């Protein structure tokens, strides 16, 4: 059995500098004063601790793992790659990282940005070219959102490529709010109580998917990405679509958090504190067998009373 990766999340590690490909002039990180630098160090340690805890809690990484980090060019995946690189320096087991970007052939996609960045930080990478953009535009009816089909095509391409390069785990950049948004989307629109698990086995059984940012706040990730000056690439396929269901849910959760600070934290705890007997899923709990369970308990009580009486 492989040894699980156990991090000491509080272990000292040098603050990571802004990427080498930053444009001329001071980056946001370099422009920080002493107080700002201390706050950045706290932020980086918090993210490292939360990622380390998620990895330990769910057994995400083991000795010899080759982790394929899916890099979209957004703040979340950049942060995921950077924090994993940071933890890798102090990990008690050996694992490798390979970044993979899926070039979906969106018009105007800056193809040079990711290769230049990844070469500047010395990370092994692949650019996987698949024209999913044309398929999504062709198959999606006018006025409908593209996210569902785009996501399925993207996952299929990336999961298949993971096998080709010998990746043992596929790491995605979903964070705490992504998980909660998915929970409410499934409740409101799908009639199911499910979210994004921190670790899962793909439907075909070929890939183990991990989400090391599961404990991380989106606001922390956004601030870290800003200070690191990551070369963010916006998604032009769906970013401008109005009334996206996920955006509506995101705004709902943000409003709840503004009015009731701590509610997001409480809701996230609920995802990992499930009581099947208090829900209504007959597959998860044996409601039909409650009478038999009651009878067994009564028998045990009677037996205990009889023993007590005999003595």
- Number of Cβ within 10 Å of residue 234's Cβ equals 13
Q: What is the mean pLDDT of each run of 10 residues along the chain (311 residues)?
A: 43 48 66 93 97 97 97 96 95 93 82 94 92 68 62 79 95 96 93 95 92 97 96 68 76 94 94 94 95 92 65 52
The predicted pLDDT at position 10 comes to 41
Taking the C-alpha atoms of residue 227 and residue 220, their distance in angstroms, rounded to an integer, is 11
Dist. CA 90–CA 173, nearest whole Å = 21
C-alpha span between 96 and 123 (Å, rounded):
10
Helix (H/G/I), strand (E/B), else coil: 129: strand
Maximum Cα–Cα distance for the chain, whole Å?
Answer: 90
pLDDT computed for residue 155 by the predictor? 78
Q: List the structure tokens of 90.
A: 């102090």
Q: How far is CA 161 from CA 98, 101, 208, 283, 304, in A?
A: 12, 11, 13, 34, 61
- Note the pLDDT of residue 130: 77
Q: Across the strands, what pairs with 127?
A: 101
* Strand pairing class (96-103; 199-201): unpaired
Could you tell me which of 127, 61, 126, 122 has the C-alpha nearest to residue 94?
61
Which residues lie closer than 8 Å to 147 by C-beta, 6 or more apart?
Answer: 238, 241, 244, 246
Helix, strand, coil shares, percent, the chain, to 5:
50, 10, 45
Task: Evaluate if pTM is beyond 0.75.
Answer: yes
DSSP 8-state secondary structure symbol assigned to residue 205: S
CB 64, CB 95: distance < 8 Å: yes
Give the model's pLDDT for residue 221: 98
Contact present, 84 and 69 (Cβ < 8 Å): yes
- Pairing relationship of beta strands 96-103 and 66-70 according to DSSP bridges: parallel
- Kind of pairing between the strands at 125-129 and 66-70: unpaired
- Secondary structure letter of residue 207 according to DSSP: -
CA–chain centroid gap for 259, Å, is 26
Quick one: which of 277, 264, 227 has its CA closest to 22?
Answer: 227
The Cα angle at residue 99 between residues 160 and 119, in degrees rounded to 5: 140
- Calpha distance 85→77 (Å, rounded): 12
SS3 of 56, please? Answer: helix
Q: Report DSSP state, residue 209.
A: E
At residue 234, the pLDDT reads: 80
Q: 152 is written with which tokens?
A: 């399925």
What are the b/e assignments for 277-287, b being 16+ CB within 10 Å? eeeeeeeeeee
Look up residue 5 and give its DSSP letter: P
pLDDT of residue 103: 83
């Amino acid at each position: 059995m492989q040894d699980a990766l156990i991090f000491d999340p509080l272990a000292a590690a040098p603050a990571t500098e802004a990427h080498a490909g930053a444009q001329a002039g001071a980056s946001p990180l370099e422009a920080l004063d002493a107080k700002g630098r201390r706050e950045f160090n706290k932020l980086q340690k918090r993210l490292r601790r939360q990622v380390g805890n998620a990895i330990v809690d769910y057994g995400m990484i083991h000795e010899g793992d080759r982790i394929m980090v899916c890099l979209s060019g957004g703040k979340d995946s950049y942060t995921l790659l950077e924090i994993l690189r940071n933890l890798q320096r102090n990990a008690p087991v050996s694992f490798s990282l390979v970044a993979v970007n899926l070039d979906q052939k969106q018009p105007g996609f800056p193809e040079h940005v990711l290769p230049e960045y990844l070469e500047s930080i010395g990370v092994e990478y692949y650019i996987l070219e698949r024209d999913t953009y044309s398929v999504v535009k062709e198959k999606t009816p006018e006025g409908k959102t593209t996210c569902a089909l785009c996501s399925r095509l993207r996952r299929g391409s990336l999961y298949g490529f993971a096998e080709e390069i010998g990746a043992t785990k596929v790491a995605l950049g979903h964070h705490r709010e992504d998980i909660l948004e998915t929970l409410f989307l499934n409740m409101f629109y799908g009639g199911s109580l499910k979210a994004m698990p921190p670790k899962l086995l793909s439907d075909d059984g070929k890939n183990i998917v991990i989400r090391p940012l599961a404990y991380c706040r989106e606001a922390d990730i956004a601030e870290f990405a800003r200070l690191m000056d990551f070369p963010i690439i916006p998604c032009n396929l769906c970013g401008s679509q109005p009334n996206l269901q996920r955006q509506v849910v995101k705004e709902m959760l943000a409003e709840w958090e503004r009015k009731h600070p701590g509610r997001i934290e409480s809701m996230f705890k609920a995802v990992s504190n499930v009581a099947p007997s208090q829900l209504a899923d007959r597959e998860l709990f044996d409601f039909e067998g409650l009478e038999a369970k009651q009878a067994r308990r009564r028998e045990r009580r009677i037996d205990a009373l009889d023993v007590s009486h005999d003595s």
